[in-house]
Chains A and B, each alone.
Chain A
């Protein structure tokens, strides 16, 4: 599951903006850990979700992500820093 390519990254802590601005095949980078972020990721056809600020999703979120075959990643870094590192390594914005 981790051997996947993402076409872009989108970092945001708002549901509406994640839905409207992220692009298919992106990596969704967020501090939101409720089930709705998985629903949005599914609808925008994101390839994976990266949770920032050390936030860990609950069992409901993990179960729904498994159903949608959506890998979940976790980092202790802040949103800005996470995006910056990924951008430096060649991942561009949605």
Chain B
């Protein structure tokens, strides 16, 4: 099963809808509770990264019996220093976004923490592509 969602930059009203739909689908096909929890955290953080930082993008979930693959592809500024972006607490989110409870610098660190495999490619002024795999298993953190 594969689901793909369009995600718009700075659209905080619809943001999170794609992740909520991914969650419902994962529950419907009977993925483990812990897998659903981890996949939803990864999907939501990836979705919010597009909303906060990019012009637009797509969030894709591919569901296999043994794993969930979450991919986020965006057209945006790209990440100049990927290592720095994975540092807990580092954020480039603007002030009005921080006031909404974002910008704590935990987006990419959480994606790394809750996924089993992660690949990220970014080109400045073009965009970022993030691929993650979450294995369907009971424990995992």
Which chain A residues have a beta carbon within 8 Å of chain B's beta carbons? 13-20, 30, 32, 34-37, 39-40, 42-43, 60
A32 contacts which chain B residues (CB < 8 A)? 100-101
B15 contacts which chain A residues (CB < 8 A)? 36, 39
Which chain B residues have a beta carbon within 8 Å of chain A's beta carbons? 12-13, 15-17, 19-20, 23, 40-41, 44-45, 48, 100-102, 104, 106-107, 110, 114
Q: In the complex, A43→B16 CA distance in Å?
A: 9
Q: In the complex, A19→B16 CA distance in Å?
A: 12
In the complex, which of the residues B40, B101, B110 has the most CB atoms of chain A within 10 Å of its own CB atom? B101
A13, A30, A39: the one contacting B16 at CB < 8 Å is A39
If A42-B20, A43-B40 touch, whether A16 touches B13 (CB-CB below 8 Å) is no
Q: In the complex, A40→B107 CA distance in Å?
A: 14
If A39-B15, A39-B20 touch, whether A16 touches B107 (CB-CB below 8 Å) is yes
Judged by DSSP, the binding face of B is helix
In the complex the two chains form, is A15's CB within 8 Å of B100's CB?
A: yes
B12, B16, B40, B102: the one contacting A16 at CB < 8 Å is B102
Q: Which residue of A lies closest to B106 (CB)?
A: A16
* Nearest 5 A/B pairs, CB to CB: A39-B16, A15-B101, A16-B106, A32-B101, A34-B100
Q: In the complex, A15→B12 CA distance in Å?
A: 13
Q: A51 to nearest B CB, angstroms?
A: 12
In the complex the two chains form, is A16's CB within 8 Å of B110's CB?
A: yes
Q: Which residue of B lies closest to A15 (CB)?
A: B101
Besides A19-B41, A34-B100, A43-B16, 8 new A-B residue pairs in contact (Cβ under 8 A), listed by A number: A14-B106, A16-B45, A20-B41, A35-B12, A35-B13, A36-B100, A39-B16, A43-B19
In the complex, which of the residues A17, A30, A32, A36 has the most CB atoms of chain B within 10 Å of its own CB atom? A36
In the complex the two chains form, is A15's CB within 8 Å of B40's CB?
A: no
If A16-B110, A17-B106 touch, whether A43 touches B44 (CB-CB below 8 Å) is yes
In the complex, which of the residues B16, B20, B41, B114 has the most CB atoms of chain A within 10 Å of its own CB atom? B16
